[in-house]
Amino acid sequence: MRKDGSFEMDLASMTITGLRSMLDKREISAPELADAYLERIAAVDDKLESFITVTAENAKKAADSAQEMINKGEASPLCGIPLAIKDNICTDGIKTTCASRMLENFVPPYNATVMEKLEAEGAVMLGKASMDEFAMGGSTQTSAFKKTKNPYDLGCVPGGSSGGSAAAVSASLCAAALGSDTGGSIRQPASFCGVTGLKPTYGRVSRYGLVAFASSLDQIGPIARSAEDCALILNAIAGFDPHDGTSSRNAVPDFTAGVGMGVKGIKIALPKEFYAEGIDDDVRKAVLDAADAYKAMGAELVDCSMPSLRYAVAAYYLISSAEASSNLSRYDGIKFGHRSEEGESFNDLISHSRSEGFGDEVKRRILLGNYALSSGYYDAYYGKAMALKQKIREEYEEIFSRCDVILTPTAPTAAYGINENISDPAKMYQADICTVTVNIASLPAISTPCGYTAKGMPIGMSVIGRKWDEVSVIRTADAFERDFTRQPAKI
C-alpha cells in the first residue's frame, strides 16, 4: 500500500495465475486491481498508443461485480482479471472501430460470443486495443486512430494486426488480451513484443461478433504473459456456438492439462525451409538453441521438409484478399459505415464513402481480391491458390504422421523500425512467411519468446500442433517458458 492507502504492485511480473491467487487470498480487491491498470494506462499509453478506447467507468463497474462474485466464493479463473480487447470484436454499447474511419462511430448493439463468455466469467474489460485497419497489416501502422509503438523500443513497430493487444500486455497495461489471427496477427505481434500469443484451431472459438476480414482464416485467440495464461483464457472462450456455422462441436478439453508436464518423449519437427535464406541469423540461432533446449529436456528432434512454403505467402494473400473484397463490400455508406457528404448519384455516394472511409492498405487488398476473382483470372490465381491450400494441408499431415509438434521461427526478423517497410507492401507481405501456413491449414499454434537480439528486441518461436491439439502446443511452450528468463519491456 502507498501512504495514501492506494494499492501499488509490480504489474510487469504478474500473470493471471498470480493475480488469481492474490484476489482469492484477498491480498488485493478486483476494484484495486482495475485501478492499478487504469493508472498505468493513464501514465504510459499516450506514448505507446495501444488503446483506441479506454472504458474506465465500465471497467470499474465490472470490477465491483467481480468482487461480489469473489466474496461469495463463486470466482472463476478469470474473475476480476483486467483484459484488453482488440477493436474488431463487438462490444455491446462500446465503440468497435476496426481502426477504420469507415466504422469510426459504430457502436454495436450486441456482444461477440467471446465477450458474453468473458463477462460470464467476471473478467474486466479495460478498453479496446488498436490494430491495423480491418486487421490488414503487420505493423499496426495502418490504424486510422492510434499507431501503436513497440514497448521495447518506441521507434519500432509492435507487429500486427493485433499490435495494440500485444503491446498492452507487454507494457503491463492489462493482464492479458484478446486478438484475432488471420495470417499470424496474434503470433507475430506477440513475437515482436516479447509475450505469448495463441492462435487456436479454426472453429475452436466462435467468430460471431468478430468483424470479418477473411472468414475461412480468421480466428480469435489470447495474448498473455505465459502459455498457461493463454490456456486459462482459451478454457473460457472455446466451444460450439449456434451463431457461428463454422464453430466446432468437438469436446472442449482442459487446455491447462499439459502445463508442467515437460516434453520428455515428445517428437518435435524442424522443417528446413523455415530456417533457410530470408531468416535473420539471430532469429535462426535463437530458435535452434530452443530446439537444443527441448532435446536436453528429453524431446526428440525430427528433420522434415515443407516444399510448398515458398508459395504460401502468394496463396494466402490471394485467398484472404478475395474474401476481404467480399466481406468489405457491405460498407457502402448506405447500409453500413461512413457516409460521405459528397456524390450526386447513388454510385458517386458509394465511391466517395469508400474513398474517404478506407485506408490505402484496405483499398489495395480489395483491388487485389476483386482482380483475383474476376472473369478470366479466377482459375489462374484464386483457383491455383485453393489448390495450394490443399497441398499445404497434405504436407502438414505427412509431417504430423512422424511427430507431435513443429517448431519454427514466428517471424523472419525481430521488430523493425516504424518507417522501415511501410512503403514496400511486397516486403511487408513476405514477412508473414512463417505464420500464414498455419491459418491455411486451420491448425493451432503458439508463439513465445525464445531470445533477444543484440539490441534487446524480442525473438519469438512458434509451436504448431495437429488440429484440435492445443493441449500439446501449450504444453510444449510452457516447458520452455519455465526455464527462460524474459527481459521486461523498456517503457
- Residue 421 CB coordination number (10 Å): 20
Nearest to 114 by CA among 242, 235, 207: 207
Name the DSSP letter for residue 103: G
From the candidates 100, 185, 320, 447, give the one annotated as an active-site residue. 185
Start-to-end Cα distance in the chain = 23
Q: Which of 50, 139, 143, 161 is catalytic?
A: 161
CA angle 79–85–90, rounded 5-degree value:
105
| Residue 140, all three cell numbers | 499496426
In SS3 terms, 395-415 reads as: HHHHHHCCCCEEEEECCCCCC
CA torsion, ordered 65, 211, 222, 147, to nearest 10 deg: -100
Position 55: which residue type? T
Per the annotation, the verdict on 185 as an active-site residue is yes
Beta-strand relationship, 267-271 and 196-199: unpaired
Contact 126, 174 (CB under 8 A): yes
Is 285 one of the catalytic residues? Answer: no
Assigned C-alpha cell, 235? 478454457
Angle (CA) 437 438 444, round 5°: 170
Phi then psi dihedrals of residue 461, to 5 deg = -120, 155
Strand 300-304 vs strand 267-271: parallel, antiparallel, or unpaired? parallel
Amino acid type, 271: P
Query: Is the CB of residue 265 less than 8 Å from the CB of residue 298?
Result: yes
202 CB burial (10 A radius; 0-12, 13-18, 19+): buried
Known catalytic residue at 86: yes
Quote the CA–CA distance of 300 and 191 in Å, as a whole number: 25
Angle between helices 16-24 and 30-48 (to 10 degrees): 150
Choice among 86, 149, 199, 467 that is catalytic: 86
Collapsing DSSP states into helix, strand and coil, what is residue 122? coil
Angle, alpha carbons 296-301-303 (nearest 5°): 155
- H or E, element range at 311: helix 309-327
User: Which of these, 403, 397, 400, lies nearest to 301 by C-alpha position?
Assistant: 403
Judge whether 346 and 368 are in contact, CB under 8 Å. no
* Active-site annotation, residues: 86, 161, 185
